[in-house]
Structure 1
Amino acid sequence: MDKFEELKAEAKSLVDAFNQGTATDEQKSRLVAIGDELKTAKTQMDSAKSAQDLLDALNSGVTEGEGTTYSRGPAVKSLGEAFLSKAGDLGALARRIKSGGVEAPEFKAANTAHTLEGLAFETVTQQVIEEVRPTPTVANLMTNAAMSNPVLKYFRQVPGSTEGAPAITPEGTEKPYVHYKFEQVTAGLSKIAGVTDVTTEMTEDAPFLVSLINSFLVRDLILEEEAQILNGDGAGDNFDGLYHMSGVLNVQGDAGTNLVDAIYRSTTAIRTQSKLVPTGLVIHPIDYENARLDKDGNGQYMGGGPFYAPYGNGTLQFAPSLWGLQTVVTPNAKQGTPLVGDFRQAAILRKGGIVVAASDQHDRNFTQNKVTFRAEERAGLMVQRPAAFAKVSVKAA
């Protein structure tokens, strides 16, 4: 039994125990973490199959001439495969690049997956491919909102601006007024893009092209998107990121306070001030390392050691979540300042999806036998309640 099937079997037993009301605290904790492990194992399994599936599709019998048709292969699983499916085969890709370029269908971050199959060479079908995120990112904590226009205007209540409150009113007496104050917020879309060059010889290697698009261009574009979500300063076309956004709470622990304790106190601040329940934590790798390696007075790891679960109880986890919050460990977080929040109060705005295009009609590509690949998306950030988030820090000793 492979790793993915083992995890599925374990997950089923945990769910059964939970539904029957017999699950222990350790089993409940394991049920929270096993979802991420299943996603990682599934991604690794799919990646191992993708290159062979693509080669099978490209070798499925293509003929040329008047009335050319291309036989139907397996559904593509990624943007890289969709790009090659759009071109038809490697020979057709080379010809289309020389004749002005080729553009893949949009690669959209959405909750509904679509597949692209059976395209005729002469037909351009703008299908949508589910975005693959092999590791957790901040965007995974939020919802995705499709945009038809480049700008979204919405209203949100000014924190702490409510005047008055409903009250018991005797018959015939004046009813109390409640005054609310709202502000109009404009959320725009920004373009995130990147280009890279490869030699024409590289374009003859199908698995390499899939890897270039999926593992390099798309990955780096997603990392920049995450950096904007957290650290965008609102200047120019930059996002108004969570670390700079007005209205986000600041929770600071006293000198000597453990940062993990301060993180829990931030959940209390969000519950009491915004009346919302935190769902996620974004933390820098060094801060997470310090928490993971923390020991008690007996020298035992608080979160479990390299071979044993905490105090020998339950299942050992490599990267357990903190305080039951869905935890994203990313270098885009500020070291010493984790971010806690109800991420359901924020949404990633997207117009279309990620688009990949290629052409040799750029600069000196023709004389140098190079092809330029471009990946781009239009995205923005909407935060309905900034007080649903808290920046956590500890005072210097």
Structure 2
Amino acid sequence: MTKHFMPRASLVALMAARPAGIVGSVRNDANPGKIEELLKEVKSELTRISDDVKKTAEQALQQSKDTGKATDEVKAKADELLATQTKLSDAQNKLTEKLEALETRNQDLEQKLASRRGGGDKEVKSFGEQVTGSDELKAFAKGGARGTLRISVNQAITSVDGSAGSLIWTQQEREIIGLPRRQMTIRNLIPAGRTTSNLIEYVRQLARTNNAAVVSEGAQKPESNYTYERADAPVRTIAHWVHVSRQAMDDAAQLQTEIDGELRYGLDYAEELEILKGDGTGEHLEGLVPAATAYSAPIAMTGETMIDVLRLALLQASLAEYPADGIVLHPSDWTRIELLKDGENRYLWANPRGTNAPGLWGRPLLETQAMDEDEFLVGAFRMAATIYDRMDAEVLISSEDRDNFIKNMLTVRAEKRLALAVKRPGALVTGDFGNVSG
């Protein structure tokens, strides 16, 4: 066999022995440039082998014409060339498919990168995607893929989708975050008792004429006079309700407790307003402020301040023989008093670093938004009035309300009953600061 008909030993032997191994190798899979180079060599060798097959076929044909048959050497050479041609064709097809797959993957990567630069896709790249799309690999393939290439892969675990995002569970707080609640203070000023009736009747003294005096022996004694009146304090009901579905009450275990607390708070809120400001009409209680004595300065002063007015109101109660035991103000008014300063910007009343409880002239001071701004109430609260509780706060749940049963609804009702008897109106003094300075 002449050298002209022999294939290149290195490449043909490699193709004949392991064409599938070449195409499927990991090294070539990660190096598109290397695959292109190998495919070019396979195509070139396939073209040459095809030419050799053609020439061998012509040689066999000529021998057949000359001698009547082809020689065994020509037949063997033809068989070898045809087998090599078949393997090279298979290798070419596989290399072409592999190269097309790599090109498609690179296009997908480029689209994803472009999308990420636009901020629309936050997909995390896999190891293979980062390797095949790296600039280092492209430069390595362009340079002939010689030597060793090291590529750093940044595969940090993050909270985005595609990484550890699906493993992160939200944390639920079971406590219901409610709205703020006002601190109730007025009831604590007044003594409380209980009653089993719906009306409190009592007698209070209106006037006292005291003519007690020293007398001589045998002389007529002086006569004194006292006037009384009968008064009453009816028991009033404070109530409200809310509609809740049976499903919500059954499925949310904390809901019943929350509703119970809200309804009770609503009763206390309304009660404080009634105790302080109830006008006594209709079903309202007669509150402390409407029943109190109007402020009238016992002594004349000029340039009165808020602190002066309060001291004069305390004096008015004391002169009525009811030494005051407390003061009630709106929080804004107490703040104005605390912020009073002298000519050198020193606080007159408050110490910003102190922790003293609110108070003036030795009496405790209560702040409540139930009082209006510029309004005050002072007096001997424990002598002035009494609260009579008929029924403590009660919360009931029922389905027997209108069409609750057929709608699977529940009515939650809260109510309390009490009476307020302002027995000594003179023990309370109320008024406003008007235009007095701080």
Q: Give the drift of 1:136.
A: 4.2
Question: For 1:262, what is the secondary structure of its paired residue?
Answer: helix
Q: Could you say which residue in structure 2 is the equivalent of 1:370?
A: 409
Per-residue CA deviation, residues 220-273 of structure 1 (Å, 9 max, x unaligned), is 21111111112111111111122222x624235867522222112111111112
Counterpart CA distance in 1 for 2:359 and 2:233 is: 31
Higher relative contact order (CA 8 A, sep 6+): 1
Q: Could you say which residue in structure 1 is the equivalent of 2:304?
A: 257
Question: Which ranges of structure 2 fall in alignment gaps of 5 or more residues?
Answer: 1-173, 176-180
Q: Give the drift of 1:385.
A: 0.9
Instruction: Please say if residues 326 and 380 of structure 2, whose CA atoms lie closer than 8 Å, have aligned partners that are also in contact.
Output: yes
Question: For 1:373, what is the secondary structure of its paired residue?
Answer: strand
Question: So what's the TM-score if we normalise by structure 1?
Answer: 0.59
Q: Does 1:229 align with 2:268?
A: no
Per-residue CA deviation, residues 149-183 of structure 1 (Å, 9 max, x unaligned), is 1111111111xx32242111122111111101111
Amino acid aligned to 1:271: S
Q: Could you say which residue in structure 1 is the equivalent of 2:256?
A: 209
Amino acid aligned to 2:295: N
Instruction: Please say if residues 184 and 269 of structure 2, whose CA atoms lie closer than 8 Å, have aligned partners that are also in contact.
Output: no
Q: Give the drift of 1:366.
A: 4.3
Alignment CA distance shift 1:254-1:358 (3 Å):
farther
Amino acid aligned to 1:383: V
Counterpart CA distance in 1 for 2:365 and 2:184 is: 8
Counterparts of 1:334-373 in structure 2, within 5 Å, are 334-345=372-383, 346-366=385-405, 369-373=408-412
Question: For 1:251, what is the secondary structure of its paired residue?
Answer: coil
Q: Aligned to 2:332, which of 286, 295, 316? A: 286
Question: For 1:387, what is the secondary structure of its paired residue?
Answer: helix
Q: Could you say which residue in structure 1 is the equivalent of 2:430?
A: 391
Amino acid aligned to 2:412: F
Question: For 2:249, what is the secondary structure of its paired residue?
Answer: helix
Q: Could you say which residue in structure 2 is the equivalent of 1:168?
A: 214
Q: Could you say which residue in structure 2 is the equivalent of 1:301?
A: 347
Give the superposed CA RMSD: 2.6
Q: Give the drift of 1:305.
A: 4.8
Alignment CA distance shift 1:189-1:255 (3 Å):
farther
Q: Aligned to 2:318, which of 267, 271, 283? A: 271
Instruction: Please say if residues 233 and 421 of structure 2, whose CA atoms lie closer than 8 Å, have aligned partners that are also in contact.
Output: yes
Counterpart CA distance in 2 for 1:218 and 1:393 is: 32
Instruction: Please say if residues 136 and 328 of structure 1, whose CA atoms lie closer than 8 Å, have aligned partners that are also in contact.
Output: no
Amino acid aligned to 1:211: E
Amino acid aligned to 2:372: K
Question: Which ranges of structure 1 fall in alignment gaps of 5 or more residues?
Answer: 1-50, 53-132, 310-315
Alignment CA distance shift 1:360-1:294 (3 Å):
farther
Q: Aligned to 1:327, which of 365, 368, 380? A: 365
Instruction: Please say if residues 251 and 393 of structure 1, whose CA atoms lie closer than 8 Å, have aligned partners that are also in contact.
Output: no
Q: Could you say which residue in structure 1 is the equivalent of 2:225?
A: 179
Counterpart CA distance in 1 for 2:400 and 2:327 is: 45
Q: Give the drift of 1:143.
A: 0.8
Q: Could you say which residue in structure 1 is the equivalent of 2:198?
A: 150
Question: For 1:354, what is the secondary structure of its paired residue?
Answer: strand
Question: For 1:228, what is the secondary structure of its paired residue?
Answer: helix
Amino acid aligned to 1:371: L
Alignment CA distance shift 1:367-1:286 (3 Å):
farther
Q: Could you say which residue in structure 2 is the equivalent of 1:85?
A: none
> How many residue pairs were aligned?
254
Q: Could you say which residue in structure 1 is the equivalent of 2:293?
A: 248
Q: Aligned to 1:141, which of 183, 189, 199? A: 189
Question: So what's the TM-score if we normalise by structure 2?
Answer: 0.53
The runs of at least 4 consecutive aligned structure 1 residues that moved more than 4 Å come to: 252-256, 366-369
User: In terms of Rg, which structure is larger?
Assistant: 2
Per-residue CA deviation, residues 37-77 of structure 1 (Å, 9 max, x unaligned), is xxxxxxxxxxxxxx99xxxxxxxxxxxxxxxxxxxxxxxxx
Question: For 2:273, what is the secondary structure of its paired residue?
Answer: helix
Counterpart CA distance in 2 for 1:366 and 1:294 is: 62
Per-residue CA deviation, residues 76-104 of structure 1 (Å, 9 max, x unaligned), is xxxxxxxxxxxxxxxxxxxxxxxxxxxxx
Q: Give the drift of 1:198.
A: 2.7
Instruction: Please say if residues 251 and 391 of structure 1, whose CA atoms lie closer than 8 Å, have aligned partners that are also in contact.
Output: no
Instruction: Please say if residues 328 and 366 of structure 2, whose CA atoms lie closer than 8 Å, have aligned partners that are also in contact.
Output: yes
Amino acid aligned to 1:266: A
